[in-house]
Amino acid sequence: MSLTLRTISREQHLAYIQSLPSASHCQVPAWADVKSEWRSENLGWFDDKTGQLVGAGLVLYRQLPKVKRYLAYLPEGPVINWYAPNLDEWLKPMLAHLKQQGAFSVKMGPPVVIRKWDAPAIKAGIQNPDVKRLRDIEATHIEPRAFEVSDKLRRMGWQQGEDGGAGFGDVQPRYVFQVPLAGRSLEEVQKGFNQLWRRNIKKADKAGVEVVQGGYEDLAEWQRLYEITAIRDKFRPRPLSYFQQQWRALNSEDPNRMRLYFARHNGVNLAAATMLVVGGHVWYSYGASDNIGREVRPSNAMQWRMLRDAYALGASVYDLRGISDSLDETDHLFGLIQFKVGTGGEAVEYVGEWDFPLNKLLHKALDIYMSRR
């Protein structure tokens, strides 16, 4: 297939995304409005024979301090046929185009899964003192074609980024945790939960925890819980304006793109979460909880409701987003994987983010600049 790459309109880009079973929320046109501090461009690949749009990518451009040169970033994209035998014919014109636009370096995150580990394998790994990382466990599913993609990228001169590395902006996670929903009944999904999860869902139900959906006007209440979480977990919270912007941008593109949930007990909100929907892929995006009321298990109740809603939407996967690959109980991120493993889903490893230095000197300067921040 011979291809032509050119800038497309947001409408063309959105129509293409809507024609697919799913795509990353970082690749919908409205994501550019969420990341408004970056300049953006919508790219399209056309089949020369049919004139049909066969691939798309959202590019975010971040300017280097003091120079008119940019880092071009395609988070969890582009959305192309990654298993195409002629992968270089897709990526070479993209690099040429981005160079013309003033990019000194390109970063992308192929949405290509390389390995999966099911919950029993992870549990066994956690119990084995010799196992420190996910990679120490034999994967329950391996995608051989993903290794070919990595090999092709290396041969083309792409460099694999650091695992979950520090990037200019928000680097996407290499390891995520997903609950597959396709071809399963809700009963089967719940049976996959571990005893603790099932017990906690019952406990919340018995205590009268109710889970409700909120709207734009409830984002201030979300922010209150999120900032409590940030203090407890020692991270820097995003401002309320970020979530307001995300809500306006995503829901003006599709009224069901972003949702907000609260778990409340006796009229008091104890936990909250945001959910993102693109086709058959549903993400639990951000979560927050108060320091009080944990004994009534609001977070488990909320996840179960969100999972059921994802199922009702016809989702094929409920994605709990990033995890660390560490299975070491002393690791501060270990609790996260422990909580998510309880859903009976699977850990999923993507091929990670890749860089192409178009100007090696500036690319190196950026690396040094980032490492000092």
pLDDT tens column, 76-114: 999 999 999 999 999 999 999 999 999 999 999 999 999
Lowest mean pLDDT among 75-84, 87-96, 146-155, 360-369: 360-369
250-278 mean pLDDT = 98
HSE at residue 291, side-chain half, CA atoms within 13 A, is 7
> Does pLDDT of 293 surpass 60?
yes
- For the chain, the structural domain boundaries read 3-109+353-371, 113-143+152-350
In CATH terms, are 3-109+353-371 and 113-143+152-350 the same topology? yes
pTM of the model: 0.93
Question: Would you say domain 113-143+152-350 falls under CATH 3.60.20.40?
Answer: no
3-109+353-371: CATH topology: Aminopeptidase (3.40.630)
Instruction: Report pLDDT for 168.
Output: 37
- Tell me what the pLDDT averaged over the chain comes to: 94
Residues 6+ apart with CB under 8 A from 265: 207, 208, 209, 210, 293, 296, 298
- For residues 341 and 122, the answer to whether their CB atoms sit within 8 Å is yes
**Burial profile 36-57: b = 16 or more Cβ within 10 angstroms, e = fewer:** eebbbbbbbbbeeeeeebbbbb
Compute the distance between CA of residue 98 and CA of residue 104 in angstroms, rounded to an integer: 8
